[in-house]
Amino acid sequence: MNRTDSFYINGEWVAPLGDGRFQLINPATEQPIGSLAMGNVEDAHRAVAAARAAFGGWAATSREERKRLLTRLLELYNAASDEMAALMTTEMGVASSFSRNAQIALGRAHLETAIRVLGDFAFTEQRGETLLSREPIGVCALITPWNWPMNQLVVKVAPALAAGCTMVVKPSEFSPLSALRFTQMVHEAGFPPGVFNVLNGDGAIVGDALARHPEVDMVSITGSTRAGVAVAKAAADTVKRVHQELGGKSANIIFADADFERAIAHGVRASYLNCGQSCSAPTRMLVPKDMMQHAARIAAREAESIRTGAPEQPDTELGPVVNARQYQHIQGLIESGIKEGATLVAGGPGRPASLQQGYFVRPTVFADVLPTMRIAREEIFGPVLSIIGFSDEEDAIRIANDSIYGLAGYVQTADKEKARRVAARLRVGNVYINEAPWDAGAPFGGYKQSGNGREHAEFGLSDYLELKATAGY
């Protein structure tokens, strides 16, 4: 049973020091499914103290011991994967097939990659008479989002553990159930008390307390740009490292020489993955201006073919968005697209006609979108696609880069040299050419207001390490 009434601190489930509670709601039914204990500043200090006390011993453990414990955690993760997938479907409404095939699968891939990287990572290097040592940074506050509960938890926890860091994890209060189940697995795997601590709470109280705490050496947050800025400001007084993976408004440039119909259809579905609640989603589709109507017809047809419904049903492709606030945010942006003159070719305001309750959003496509419109500039975080026209290659690059964000970019063309040329000029952290698959070994992170630092593989591990130079060694 999930311990929604307790926090995991120093290897034990402990009662909160305050009496704050948060009602958990199933977004598909709008019905309560539980009550979550919420931490306060004193709870945060208690968790940090446990992590600090455990740091020296954990940092001194061997590579082999950390690898053994992570391997055991992976075994427990695999055994409980169906259970965790069901929890994510309940807490955030993601379709059950996507919970199993993506949410769980990506978490597994990050654990496997962390174990592999730890096996041969060069923690020390001799350069002449100078020894370079990569040492664990210390106590880490890991703040994870609701949209990818397991992926974003594991992508922080696994490299931090591999590095020899101790940590306090604050999951989102909107998707805590899978994180609490993961915590049980960490306990069962046998990690020493205090190495891994979990505290539920909101960002304004617990997140702020962790970011300000002088005994926290690093904060890693995945969330909105607003939340990332707040954490950075709170952390500034103690000059701690702040790693941010934040928002996105990624452009998908589709040139006329691409397999146009396939590229448009694929782009629609890619922008709707996880019900559009992904920071790297290609939500700005850029097409040649003279092909706008053709692209709009293909996109509308594809959007209308997507099955939206109860997330537990095996044929459902899109469930609801996570909560009422997010639903209203998306509805407001859809209305703004209509008012600003974009052409609505699929979906629109309100729920799908067949659904009378739940935070379901109609798969929506706008054509004839101008780069100045809100739907082209703001992160919607829902199943809403904006199609923007460009005049030539230079114009496409200009439009793609005209954003405060810089997380990902997508390029579709039959001309590989053109694809490489365009990719080189996109001001983003990740570029995918012609539907290239996701790579757990590639760095992930963004430029500009999409954040700083990189996650995945040795790049993520490096962010949890300090570099020391010992001369005369």
* Residues of the chain where predicted confidence (pLDDT) is lower than 70: 1
Catalytic residue among 165, 279, 455, 458: 279
Dist CA 82 CA 135 (whole Å): 36
**Given the structure tokens 């807490």, which residue do they identify?**
91
Order of strands, sheet of 465-470, starting from the edge strand that comes earlier in the sequence: 124-127, 130-136, 465-470
Q: Is 140 a catalytic site residue?
A: no
Q: Determine contact, residues 144/170, Cβ cutoff 8 Å.
A: yes
Integer angstrom CA distances of residue 284 from 245, 425, 427: 20, 17, 15
Going by the DSSP 8-state scheme, the letter that residue 207 receives in this structure is I
The tokens for 230 are 């707040």
Predicted pLDDT of residue 1? 55
Residue ranges of alpha helices (H) inside 208-360 are 208-212, 225-235, 260-272, 292-304, 324-339
Contacts of 409 (CB under 8 A, 6+ apart): 250, 251, 252, 253, 400, 423, 426, 428, 430, 431, 432
- Specify which residues 384 forms β-bridges with: 364
Handedness of CA 404, 405, 411, 416 (dihedral sign): positive
Q: Determine contact, residues 145/152, Cβ cutoff 8 Å.
A: yes
Residue 349's SS3 state is coil
Q: Determine contact, residues 320/371, Cβ cutoff 8 Å.
A: no
Dist CA 470 CA 473 (whole Å): 6
The tokens for 335 are 């209305």
Domains of the chain: 7-246+450-470 (3.40.605.10), 251-439 (3.40.309.10)
Q: How many residues are there in the chain?
A: 473
Residue type, 229: V
Integer angstrom CA distances of residue 151 from 146, 165, 379, 384: 10, 19, 20, 23
- Residue-wise pLDDT tens digits, 64-88: 999 999 999 999 999 999 999 999 9
Helix, strand counts (H, E) of the chain: 16, 22
For the entire predicted model, the pTM comes to 0.96
Predicted pLDDT of residue 3? 87
Catalytic residue among 91, 140, 173, 245: 245
Q: Which helix (H) or strand (E) holds 425?
A: helix 416-425
Residue 368, phi then psi, degrees to nearest 5: 55, 35
Residue type, 175: S
Q: Determine contact, residues 30/359, Cβ cutoff 8 Å.
A: yes
Q: Is 112 a catalytic site residue?
A: no
Spatial CA neighbour of 98 closest among 86, 110, 116: 86
Q: Following DSSP, what letter does each residue of 183-202 receive, concatenated?
A: HHHHHHHTPPTTSEEE----
